[in-house]
Amino acid sequence: MTHFMERNLFAMNLNKNTNSYKAIDLFAGIGGIRLGFEKAFGNEIEFVFASEIDKYACETYYANFGEKPCGDITKIDENNIPPFDILLAGFPCQAFSVAGLRRGFEDTRGTLFFEIARILKYHKPGIVFLENVKGFKNHDKGTTFKVVEETLESLGYRVFSQVLNAKDFGVPQNRERIYIVGFLDHDVAFEFPKKKELDVSIKNCLEKKVDEKYYYTNKALFEKLKDSVVCQDTIYQWRRRYVRANKSMVCPTLTANMGTGGHNVPLVLDDTSIRKLTPRECLNFQGFSSNFKLPNIVDSQLYKQAGNSVSVPVVEKIAHMIKSLIKG
Protein backbone atom coordinates (compact mmCIF):
# COMPACT_ATOMS: atom_id res chain seq x y z
CA MET A 1 0.00 0.00 0.00
CA THR A 2 1.39 3.44 -0.94
CA HIS A 3 2.01 6.22 1.56
CA PHE A 4 -0.68 8.29 -0.20
CA MET A 5 -3.27 5.51 0.13
CA GLU A 6 -2.44 5.03 3.78
CA ARG A 7 -3.15 8.70 4.45
CA ASN A 8 -6.46 8.60 2.59
CA LEU A 9 -7.68 5.44 4.30
CA PHE A 10 -6.69 6.83 7.71
CA ALA A 11 -8.67 10.02 7.28
CA MET A 12 -11.68 8.68 5.40
CA ASN A 13 -12.60 6.12 8.03
CA LEU A 14 -13.98 8.15 10.91
CA ASN A 15 -14.38 5.48 13.54
CA LYS A 16 -17.33 6.29 15.79
CA ASN A 17 -15.75 4.28 18.58
CA THR A 18 -12.42 6.09 18.52
CA ASN A 19 -11.22 7.91 21.62
CA SER A 20 -9.62 10.73 19.65
CA TYR A 21 -9.95 12.60 16.39
CA LYS A 22 -6.99 14.36 14.83
CA ALA A 23 -7.49 17.90 13.52
CA ILE A 24 -5.59 20.65 11.76
CA ASP A 25 -6.11 24.40 12.14
CA LEU A 26 -5.52 26.47 8.97
CA PHE A 27 -5.56 30.29 8.80
CA ALA A 28 -5.65 29.75 12.54
CA GLY A 29 -5.47 33.33 13.80
CA ILE A 30 -5.39 33.18 17.59
CA GLY A 31 -7.10 29.78 17.68
CA GLY A 32 -10.78 30.66 18.15
CA ILE A 33 -12.08 27.83 15.96
CA ARG A 34 -9.73 25.37 17.62
CA LEU A 35 -10.94 26.53 21.02
CA GLY A 36 -14.58 25.92 20.06
CA PHE A 37 -13.81 22.38 18.94
CA GLU A 38 -11.72 21.67 22.02
CA LYS A 39 -14.61 22.80 24.22
CA ALA A 40 -17.00 20.49 22.37
CA PHE A 41 -14.76 17.45 21.95
CA GLY A 42 -12.71 17.70 25.15
CA ASN A 43 -9.92 15.15 25.24
CA GLU A 44 -11.38 13.41 22.19
CA ILE A 45 -9.66 15.80 19.78
CA GLU A 46 -5.95 16.21 19.14
CA PHE A 47 -4.47 19.00 17.03
CA VAL A 48 -1.56 17.77 14.94
CA PHE A 49 -0.90 20.85 12.79
CA ALA A 50 -1.64 24.57 12.62
CA SER A 51 -0.77 27.32 10.17
CA GLU A 52 -0.91 31.12 10.53
CA ILE A 53 1.10 33.78 8.72
CA ASP A 54 0.66 36.74 11.12
CA LYS A 55 3.56 36.74 13.59
CA TYR A 56 1.60 38.53 16.33
CA ALA A 57 -1.33 36.12 16.06
CA CYS A 58 1.20 33.30 16.33
CA GLU A 59 2.42 34.78 19.64
CA THR A 60 -1.10 34.72 21.06
CA TYR A 61 -1.67 31.21 19.72
CA TYR A 62 1.53 29.99 21.35
CA ALA A 63 0.67 31.67 24.66
CA ASN A 64 -2.57 29.69 24.84
CA PHE A 65 -1.85 26.36 23.18
CA GLY A 66 1.89 25.98 23.72
CA GLU A 67 2.38 25.49 19.99
CA LYS A 68 3.71 27.91 17.41
CA PRO A 69 1.78 27.58 14.12
CA CYS A 70 3.71 26.91 10.95
CA GLY A 71 3.90 29.96 8.73
CA ASP A 72 2.67 30.61 5.20
CA ILE A 73 0.48 27.68 4.14
CA THR A 74 1.28 28.36 0.48
CA LYS A 75 4.83 27.26 1.21
CA ILE A 76 3.92 24.05 3.05
CA ASP A 77 3.71 20.82 1.09
CA GLU A 78 0.59 18.82 1.85
CA ASN A 79 2.60 15.62 2.32
CA ASN A 80 4.39 17.28 5.23
CA ILE A 81 1.11 17.61 7.13
CA PRO A 82 0.37 14.64 9.42
CA PRO A 83 -2.76 12.50 8.75
CA PHE A 84 -5.92 13.96 10.27
CA ASP A 85 -9.70 13.55 10.48
CA ILE A 86 -11.00 17.13 10.69
CA LEU A 87 -9.87 20.25 8.82
CA LEU A 88 -10.71 23.65 10.34
CA ALA A 89 -10.18 26.94 8.50
CA GLY A 90 -11.34 30.54 8.85
CA PHE A 91 -9.98 31.39 5.43
CA PRO A 92 -9.78 34.84 3.77
CA CYS A 93 -12.45 35.76 1.22
CA GLN A 94 -11.17 36.14 -2.34
CA ALA A 95 -12.91 36.45 -5.69
CA PHE A 96 -12.45 33.67 -8.25
CA SER A 97 -11.62 35.12 -11.65
CA VAL A 98 -12.96 32.32 -13.81
CA ALA A 99 -14.99 32.44 -17.01
CA GLY A 100 -17.23 29.59 -15.97
CA LEU A 101 -18.03 27.34 -13.06
CA ARG A 102 -18.15 23.60 -12.42
CA ARG A 103 -14.43 23.03 -12.97
CA GLY A 104 -14.17 22.09 -9.33
CA PHE A 105 -10.65 21.94 -7.94
CA GLU A 106 -9.18 23.76 -10.97
CA ASP A 107 -11.36 26.83 -10.34
CA THR A 108 -9.64 27.52 -7.01
CA ARG A 109 -6.11 27.99 -8.36
CA GLY A 110 -4.66 31.38 -7.56
CA THR A 111 -6.78 31.80 -4.42
CA LEU A 112 -6.09 30.96 -0.80
CA PHE A 113 -8.97 28.50 -0.86
CA PHE A 114 -6.78 26.46 -3.21
CA GLU A 115 -4.54 25.75 -0.22
CA ILE A 116 -7.48 24.15 1.57
CA ALA A 117 -8.58 22.29 -1.55
CA ARG A 118 -5.16 20.80 -2.28
CA ILE A 119 -4.83 19.59 1.32
CA LEU A 120 -8.33 18.07 1.21
CA LYS A 121 -7.57 16.40 -2.11
CA TYR A 122 -4.44 14.77 -0.70
CA HIS A 123 -5.59 13.82 2.81
CA LYS A 124 -9.36 13.30 2.38
CA PRO A 125 -10.32 14.01 6.01
CA GLY A 126 -13.80 12.92 6.99
CA ILE A 127 -14.90 16.43 8.00
CA VAL A 128 -14.18 19.98 6.89
CA PHE A 129 -15.30 23.10 8.80
CA LEU A 130 -15.01 26.57 7.28
CA GLU A 131 -15.98 30.04 8.53
CA ASN A 132 -16.22 33.33 6.68
CA VAL A 133 -17.98 36.68 6.66
CA LYS A 134 -21.71 36.82 5.94
CA GLY A 135 -21.13 38.60 2.63
CA PHE A 136 -19.03 35.68 1.39
CA LYS A 137 -22.15 34.00 0.01
CA ASN A 138 -22.82 36.91 -2.35
CA HIS A 139 -19.18 37.84 -2.90
CA ASP A 140 -18.28 38.37 -6.57
CA LYS A 141 -21.99 37.99 -7.49
CA GLY A 142 -22.14 34.59 -5.80
CA THR A 143 -19.29 33.13 -7.80
CA THR A 144 -16.95 32.74 -4.84
CA PHE A 145 -19.33 30.71 -2.70
CA LYS A 146 -20.50 28.60 -5.63
CA VAL A 147 -16.96 27.65 -6.60
CA VAL A 148 -16.10 26.76 -3.00
CA GLU A 149 -19.26 24.65 -2.64
CA GLU A 150 -18.74 22.88 -5.97
CA THR A 151 -15.06 22.32 -5.24
CA LEU A 152 -15.90 20.62 -1.95
CA GLU A 153 -18.51 18.49 -3.70
CA SER A 154 -16.05 17.55 -6.45
CA LEU A 155 -13.68 16.37 -3.71
CA GLY A 156 -16.37 14.07 -2.36
CA TYR A 157 -18.02 16.12 0.39
CA ARG A 158 -21.67 16.58 1.20
CA VAL A 159 -21.87 20.28 2.01
CA PHE A 160 -24.04 22.16 4.50
CA SER A 161 -23.94 25.93 5.03
CA GLN A 162 -25.79 28.54 7.07
CA VAL A 163 -25.40 32.11 8.30
CA LEU A 164 -25.54 32.32 12.11
CA ASN A 165 -25.47 35.34 14.40
CA ALA A 166 -23.39 35.32 17.59
CA LYS A 167 -26.16 37.10 19.52
CA ASP A 168 -28.37 34.03 18.99
CA PHE A 169 -25.88 31.81 20.80
CA GLY A 170 -25.22 33.53 24.09
CA VAL A 171 -22.84 36.27 22.95
CA PRO A 172 -23.96 39.93 23.10
CA GLN A 173 -22.46 40.84 19.73
CA ASN A 174 -24.24 41.33 16.42
CA ARG A 175 -21.92 39.14 14.35
CA GLU A 176 -23.26 37.25 11.36
CA ARG A 177 -20.96 34.71 9.77
CA ILE A 178 -21.39 31.90 7.28
CA TYR A 179 -20.41 28.43 8.45
CA ILE A 180 -19.70 25.62 5.98
CA VAL A 181 -19.51 21.99 7.07
CA GLY A 182 -18.64 19.11 4.77
CA PHE A 183 -18.76 15.33 5.32
CA LEU A 184 -17.30 12.53 3.21
CA ASP A 185 -20.13 10.39 4.58
CA HIS A 186 -23.10 11.35 2.39
CA ASP A 187 -25.53 9.61 4.72
CA VAL A 188 -24.96 12.30 7.34
CA ALA A 189 -28.01 14.52 7.87
CA PHE A 190 -26.36 17.48 9.52
CA GLU A 191 -28.35 20.28 11.13
CA PHE A 192 -27.00 23.57 12.41
CA PRO A 193 -27.78 24.48 16.04
CA LYS A 194 -30.97 26.40 16.77
CA LYS A 195 -30.76 29.93 18.08
CA LYS A 196 -31.77 30.80 21.62
CA GLU A 197 -32.84 33.96 23.39
CA LEU A 198 -29.93 36.07 24.61
CA ASP A 199 -29.75 36.02 28.40
CA VAL A 200 -26.68 38.22 28.94
CA SER A 201 -26.02 41.91 28.31
CA ILE A 202 -23.03 43.98 27.31
CA LYS A 203 -22.28 44.54 30.98
CA ASN A 204 -21.39 40.85 31.29
CA CYS A 205 -18.45 41.50 28.98
CA LEU A 206 -17.10 44.68 30.57
CA GLU A 207 -14.19 44.78 32.99
CA LYS A 208 -14.48 46.22 36.47
CA LYS A 209 -11.09 47.95 36.50
CA VAL A 210 -9.80 49.60 33.33
CA ASP A 211 -6.50 51.37 32.73
CA GLU A 212 -6.87 55.14 32.35
CA LYS A 213 -5.27 55.03 28.89
CA TYR A 214 -8.57 53.75 27.47
CA TYR A 215 -10.56 56.77 28.69
CA TYR A 216 -11.29 59.89 26.65
CA THR A 217 -11.35 62.16 29.68
CA ASN A 218 -8.98 65.12 29.21
CA LYS A 219 -8.64 64.30 25.51
CA ALA A 220 -9.72 66.61 22.72
CA LEU A 221 -12.43 64.26 21.45
CA PHE A 222 -14.18 64.16 24.81
CA GLU A 223 -16.10 67.36 24.13
CA LYS A 224 -17.53 65.83 20.96
CA LEU A 225 -18.54 62.64 22.77
CA LYS A 226 -19.94 63.76 26.11
CA ASP A 227 -23.37 64.85 24.86
CA SER A 228 -23.92 61.69 22.80
CA VAL A 229 -22.42 58.88 24.88
CA VAL A 230 -24.92 59.01 27.74
CA CYS A 231 -26.20 55.47 28.41
CA GLN A 232 -24.35 52.68 30.21
CA ASP A 233 -26.42 49.97 28.53
CA THR A 234 -25.30 50.93 25.03
CA ILE A 235 -22.27 50.43 22.82
CA TYR A 236 -21.36 53.46 20.70
CA GLN A 237 -19.36 53.85 17.51
CA TRP A 238 -17.51 56.98 16.46
CA ARG A 239 -18.15 57.82 12.84
CA ARG A 240 -16.08 60.86 11.90
CA ARG A 241 -18.20 63.78 13.08
CA TYR A 242 -20.87 61.96 15.02
CA VAL A 243 -21.46 59.14 17.45
CA ARG A 244 -23.79 56.32 16.53
CA ALA A 245 -25.50 54.38 19.33
CA ASN A 246 -26.13 50.68 19.05
CA LYS A 247 -29.62 50.48 20.53
CA SER A 248 -29.98 46.71 20.32
CA MET A 249 -28.17 46.30 23.65
CA VAL A 250 -25.49 44.21 21.95
CA CYS A 251 -22.04 45.09 20.67
CA PRO A 252 -21.80 45.95 16.96
CA THR A 253 -19.70 43.66 14.80
CA LEU A 254 -16.06 43.83 15.85
CA THR A 255 -13.70 44.22 12.92
CA ALA A 256 -9.97 44.01 12.29
CA ASN A 257 -9.81 47.75 11.58
CA MET A 258 -10.02 48.31 15.33
CA GLY A 259 -6.25 47.81 15.13
CA THR A 260 -5.66 50.50 12.53
CA GLY A 261 -5.85 53.45 14.89
CA GLY A 262 -8.22 56.38 14.80
CA HIS A 263 -11.49 55.83 16.66
CA ASN A 264 -12.51 52.43 15.30
CA VAL A 265 -12.85 50.72 18.69
CA PRO A 266 -16.43 50.81 20.06
CA LEU A 267 -17.14 53.17 22.98
CA VAL A 268 -18.88 52.72 26.32
CA LEU A 269 -19.82 54.87 29.27
CA ASP A 270 -18.95 53.34 32.64
CA ASP A 271 -19.09 54.69 36.19
CA THR A 272 -15.90 56.66 35.59
CA SER A 273 -16.26 58.20 32.13
CA ILE A 274 -16.36 57.56 28.38
CA ARG A 275 -13.84 55.09 27.10
CA LYS A 276 -13.16 52.57 24.36
CA LEU A 277 -13.40 48.83 24.86
CA THR A 278 -10.21 47.16 26.00
CA PRO A 279 -8.68 44.28 24.00
CA ARG A 280 -9.80 41.88 26.74
CA GLU A 281 -13.38 43.14 26.49
CA CYS A 282 -13.31 42.67 22.72
CA LEU A 283 -12.36 39.03 23.26
CA ASN A 284 -15.14 38.78 25.86
CA PHE A 285 -17.56 39.88 23.14
CA GLN A 286 -16.21 37.01 21.02
CA GLY A 287 -16.94 34.52 23.78
CA PHE A 288 -13.35 33.83 24.81
CA SER A 289 -12.95 32.79 28.44
CA SER A 290 -11.27 35.01 31.01
CA ASN A 291 -8.29 32.65 31.22
CA PHE A 292 -7.42 33.14 27.55
CA LYS A 293 -3.96 34.71 27.67
CA LEU A 294 -3.02 38.00 26.03
CA PRO A 295 0.71 38.25 25.32
CA ASN A 296 2.65 41.45 25.90
CA ILE A 297 2.19 42.98 22.45
CA VAL A 298 0.79 46.34 21.36
CA ASP A 299 -2.94 46.94 21.72
CA SER A 300 -3.33 47.60 17.99
CA GLN A 301 -2.41 43.98 17.27
CA LEU A 302 -4.67 42.65 20.03
CA TYR A 303 -7.61 44.65 18.64
CA LYS A 304 -6.87 43.32 15.16
CA GLN A 305 -6.75 39.76 16.47
CA ALA A 306 -10.07 40.12 18.28
CA GLY A 307 -11.75 41.55 15.20
CA ASN A 308 -10.33 38.83 12.96
CA SER A 309 -11.33 36.02 15.28
CA VAL A 310 -14.55 34.04 15.66
CA SER A 311 -17.41 33.74 18.09
CA VAL A 312 -16.19 30.78 20.11
CA PRO A 313 -19.63 29.73 21.47
CA VAL A 314 -21.07 29.51 17.93
CA VAL A 315 -18.20 27.29 16.82
CA GLU A 316 -18.61 25.20 19.96
CA LYS A 317 -22.34 24.67 19.27
CA ILE A 318 -21.63 23.55 15.70
CA ALA A 319 -18.81 21.29 16.90
CA HIS A 320 -21.20 19.67 19.38
CA MET A 321 -23.59 18.92 16.51
CA ILE A 322 -20.74 17.40 14.50
CA LYS A 323 -19.59 15.31 17.45
CA SER A 324 -23.08 13.97 18.11
CA LEU A 325 -23.27 12.75 14.51
CA ILE A 326 -19.89 11.10 14.24
CA LYS A 327 -20.12 9.52 17.69
CA GLY A 328 -23.55 8.15 16.89
pLDDT reported for residue 7: 43
pLDDT in tens, the chain (328 residues): 343 334 444 344 465 556 789 999 999 999 999 999 999 999 999 999 999 999 999 999 999 999 999 999 999 999 999 999 999 999 887 777 654 555 666 667 778 999 999 999 999 999 999 999 998 888 888 888 998 999 999 999 999 999 999 999 999 999 999 999 999 999 999 999 999 999 999 999 999 999 999 999 988 889 989 999 999 989 999 876 678 888 778 999 999 999 887 789 999 999 999 999 999 999 999 999 999 999 999 999 999 999 999 999 999 999 999 999 998 6
Tell whether the torsion through CA atoms of 112, 115, 180 and 26 is positive or negative. Answer: negative
CB atoms within 10 A of CB 82: 11
In eight-state DSSP terms, residue 274 is: E
- For residues 264 and 257, is the Cβ–Cβ distance under 8 A? yes
pLDDT reported for residue 103: 61
| Backbone dihedral region for residue 89 (phi beyond 0: left; psi -120 to 50: alpha; all else: beta) | beta
251 labelled catalytic = no
Catalytic pick from 93, 205, 231, 282?
Answer: 93
pLDDT reported for residue 98: 53
> What are 259-300's pLDDT values in tens digits?
887 789 999 999 999 999 999 999 999 999 999 999 999 999
Alpha-carbon gap, residue 27 to 43, rounded angstroms: 23
Is 75 buried (19+), middle (13-18) or exposed (0-12) by CB count in 10 A?
A: exposed
With a CB cutoff of 8 Å and minimum separation 6, the contacts of 198 are: 167, 168, 170, 172, 250
Beta bridge partners, 275, equal: 215, 268
Dump the DSSP string for 92-125: PP-----SSS--GGGGGTTSTHHHHHHHHHHH--
Task: Decide: helix, strand or coil at residue 88.
Answer: strand
Q: Which domains does the chain have, with CATH numbers?
A: 3-195+309-326 (3.40.50.150), 202-307 (3.90.120.10)
Task: Tell which residue, 300, 297, 294, has the closest CA to residue 258.
Answer: 300
